[in-house]
Structure 1
Amino acid sequence: MNRLVILGGGESGVGAALLGKEKGYEVFVSDKGEIKKKYKDVLIHNNIDWEDKQHTVSKILNADLVMKSPGIPDTVPLVKQIKEQDIPIVSEIEFASKYTNAILVGITGSNGKTTTAALTHHILKQELQVGLAGNIGDSFALQVLNENVKTFVLEISSFQLDDIVSFKPHIAVITNITPDHLDRYAYKFENYIASKFRIAENQTKTDYLIYDADDEVIVDWLTKHPVKSTLLPFSLTKKVTSGAYLEKDRIIITIDNNIINMPTDKLALEGKHNVKNAMAASTVAHLLKIRKQTIRESLENFHGVEHRLENVLKINKVQYINDSKATNVNATYYALESMGAPTVWIVGGEDKGNNYEELFSFVNEKVKAIVCLGVDNEKLLKSFSSMVDVIVETQFMTEAVKIAYKLAEPGDNVLLSPACASFDLFENYEDRGRQFKEAVRNL
């Protein structure tokens, strides 16, 4: 019997443990932190061997296969030991994909991947049995085990792509690539770009790569590192013969000379970046033979994902907006770009090597005050203190919201768009967003 060792007892780890057991593996789950009670209960109920708050090296290095949580970097000594023993390491995405014949749609990118994945799923589910997994929703492995669906939409992070071997989505989407997570990639942008493009590395010409043709990083990389996939670009600025483009407020999609067009004025999600997300999702839907009418209606009634430019409440004519999912500068760029009123901006957290320069014009034009919410705000203070009259620091969400409340006047926005990771003060970006919403409701 082959031994499967799983590092990390979270959603993806426990899902893979259950799938592994079903497929005849002897399974062991090991987590350096504490495994949440709900996951422990599942492991115990299914008689799966586990440990937490430690890694027993002898029980790990006798594995035939290791599946590691995407949060564990390759630089960790234990991972190096596993590699030295030539034990293969895979991601949950890689492991689970071996056990399904479903059509796989893989979506990656620095920003927009969650919205695009959720929107794609929303369109497809009107006519197909479809699962949503990866970086979003329930574990992919668990859905492969329990759900008999013919199509999966997978939101995939660069960390998950780092541990793929033969994983191949039939349709791959790259929404955009901007510097992010550089702390995990030796501070080399090209390492991070290469990681994103792994989504297409096993594709053949019968598979599709949908990408943003306005993104110079993507276009440049494709010129130097051609892929085998059939390319379907989307663009707001230029006409494309195959793919999607914008013409006078209409999205035109052309695949195999079959043309559909859709008005953008009825899109439920606002902003240029959401026109791009709509193009990517519609192109996937068109490839999978979803009716034009269904695509149009779905784009008109989809209202976005939690923590992404989410309108929370209006208090004293001030709109409070939760964009906690903006964990990098580019995401915050889109948020500030879409502000149509003077804005009190709550920013900060764990900096991943941010360069704030691209935000300067928006901050000068739209931001009236800044609330820094992080353990170390020095870089923010240095970057922005000359641009706004008021810049204050705090380490508590409740206090940040109270300060913003005092600074905002009727007609203003209060925007939480941190441009940073959340791990210095919060469990994750969801926790940060929920604390923001709770603090706003308690005003």
Structure 2
Amino acid sequence: MTKKRLVILGGGESGVGTALLGKAKEYEVFVSDKGRIKERYKQVLINNGIDWEDEIHTESKILNADLVMKSPGIPDKVALVKQIRENGIQVVSEIEFAAKFTDATLVAITGSNGKTTTATLTHHLLKQELSVGLAGNIGDSFAKQVLEGGFETYVLEVSSFQLDDIVDFKPKIAVITNITPDHLDRYDYNFENYIRSKFRIAENQTKDDFLIYDADDEVIVNHLKNHPVQSTLLPFSLEKNIENGAYYENKEIKITINNTQIIMPTTKLALEGKHNIKNAMAASTVAHLLKIRKQTIRESLENFQGVEHRLEQVLKINKVQYINDSKATNVNATYYALESMDAPTVWIVGGVDKGNNYEELFSFVNEKVKAIICLGVDNEKLLKTFGNMVDVIVETQFMSEAVKIAYKLAESGDNVLLSPACASFDLFENYEDRGRQFKDAVRNL
């Protein structure tokens, strides 16, 4: 019997993890990356005898595949991907491929914002009592963890790009934290396409599965009205009482599932801000569904420290607080950041604009922002949008310079906030690199 040929486009974390799992499951595996494969990943492929190439895609070695796993970073518009599909070869994402080889309970979390915090927090709540892995967009690849077979439950942070290439992927529990315009450059600038993509998380679910979502998010609520899903719905809300699901009242989170209610006080929540109460409601609902004890949920919520690059307090210098929110790669994320500022703020913003509309930030900028530092290759839209709103607006292309300017502009009691509202690829490798450079520059002041 000839082995099935699995071709993997992209030699990063998900690609290499899939290659290892594919090899173990008797596929003939080939990894192809148009860019350079990092040295450590190359070594893994070499040590495992897996065929690979980088800085090129050799079509003859790709178009003979039985199955293609493509990295979420590669758009469908790419000629090679179109050709693969035209040849009738199935294209899947890592989560689709890996899920076939595990019987673990899958908790999948998506959303334009809050998904990393919610996934990390959910994992934190579950790991006290369950054998649970954290994967998807975070940490070690899902495929590699499935291969190592360590966990009975997985919390997966999944992006719309990963959901675009699922076929049978079906989480027991799906969470949609919110949906706001993001990555529209990948969805023909059509918000509806992006919404549909997020909702694929529930498309294979049945009534025995659960969909947890933000009932205050009109986009989600309207989509559910017009496109009902099979799943059992468990909404969460800050604004209204919820019969089945979670809501917030008198500084308490109340969660009801099948007539059993648990109540969580939020006064000692480690994470601040309204959006984090929502993240806590989503994570606690998952924990309650998976029968984690109330006491454990409460303690875990109180000792959870948050996620790096997400409203991360770096240092206080001369009574000025420096805050790293590099993970804010869209306007809605920056909205939460500015909303939570309680002092005059010097705001560092900019990068690759994905079709942003900055209007929802205007009231916060008028009220809280004293100066803006634009950090990007092309800052024209920012200068035009905010130029008249603040007294000081400057541009730079170096993080170290941006931080030095901020240091000069900030006075005792102010905040300096890096919350770019944009992707990072014009000046940085990724948002982590951007956040680390910010922290290094602050420490070097």
For Structure 1 versus Structure 2, the TM-score category normalised by the shorter chain is over 0.9
- Partner SS for 2:17: helix
Say if 2:393 is the partner of 1:391. Answer: yes
TM-score (norm 2): 0.99
- Partner SS for 1:51: strand
Deviations 1:176-232 (A, max 9, x none): 000000000000000000000000000000000000000000000000000000000
TM superposition outliers: structure 1 runs of 4+ over 4 Å: none
Tell me the residue number matched to 1:317.
319
Q: Partners of 2:147 and 2:415 in 1: how far apart? A: 45
Deviations 1:157-178 (A, max 9, x none): 0000000000000000000000
Tell me the residue number matched to 1:408.
410
Q: Partners of 1:245 and 1:227 in 2: how far apart? A: 22
Q: Partners of 1:405 and 1:155 in 2: how far apart? A: 36
Counterpart of 1:99 (choices 98, 101, 105) is 101
Deviations 1:234-270 (A, max 9, x none): 0000001000001111000000000000111110000
Tell me the residue number matched to 2:65.
63
Matches within 5 A, 1:210-289: 210-289=212-291
Q: Partners of 1:154 and 1:193 in 2: how far apart? A: 19
Residue 147 of structure 1 and its aligned partner are, at CA, apart by: 3.2
Tell me the residue number matched to 1:126.
128
Backbone CA RMSD of aligned residues:
0.3
Deviations 1:340-359 (A, max 9, x none): 00000000000000000000
- Partner SS for 2:301: helix
Matches within 5 A, 1:111-122: 111-122=113-124
Q: Partners of 2:96 and 2:275 in 1: how far apart? A: 30
Q: Partners of 1:266 and 1:235 in 2: how far apart? A: 19
Q: Partners of 1:315 and 1:158 in 2: how far apart? A: 39
Deviations 1:16-58 (A, max 9, x none): 0000000000000000000000000000000000000000000
Q: Partners of 1:231 and 1:146 in 2: how far apart? A: 33
Structure 1 runs not aligned, ≥5 long: none
Residue 148 of structure 1 and its aligned partner are, at CA, apart by: 2.2
Q: Partners of 2:124 and 2:418 in 1: how far apart? A: 26
Q: Partners of 2:303 and 2:149 in 1: how far apart? A: 26
- Partner SS for 1:62: coil
Q: Partners of 1:228 and 1:382 in 2: how far apart? A: 46
Tell me the residue number matched to 1:296.
298
Q: Partners of 1:179 and 1:147 in 2: how far apart? A: 37
Tell me the residue number matched to 1:73.
75
Matched AA of 1:438: D
Q: Partners of 2:42 and 2:249 in 1: how far apart? A: 53
Counterpart of 2:168 (choices 166, 169, 175) is 166
- Partner SS for 1:73: coil
Tell me the residue number matched to 2:25.
23
Tell me the residue number matched to 2:373.
371
Tell me the residue number matched to 1:8.
10
Residue 133 of structure 1 and its aligned partner are, at CA, apart by: 0.1
Counterpart of 1:54 (choices 49, 53, 56) is 56
- Partner SS for 1:313: strand
Deviations 1:359-386 (A, max 9, x none): 0000000000000000000100011011
May I ask how many residue pairs the two structures share in their alignment?
443
Q: Partners of 1:265 and 1:225 in 2: how far apart? A: 37
TM-score (norm 1): 1.00
Counterpart of 1:336 (choices 331, 335, 338) is 338
- Partner SS for 1:303: coil
Tell me the residue number matched to 1:32.
34
Matched AA of 2:146: V
- Partner SS for 1:326: coil
Structure 2 runs not aligned, ≥5 long: none
Tell me the residue number matched to 2:434.
432
Q: Partners of 1:159 and 1:135 in 2: how far apart? A: 11
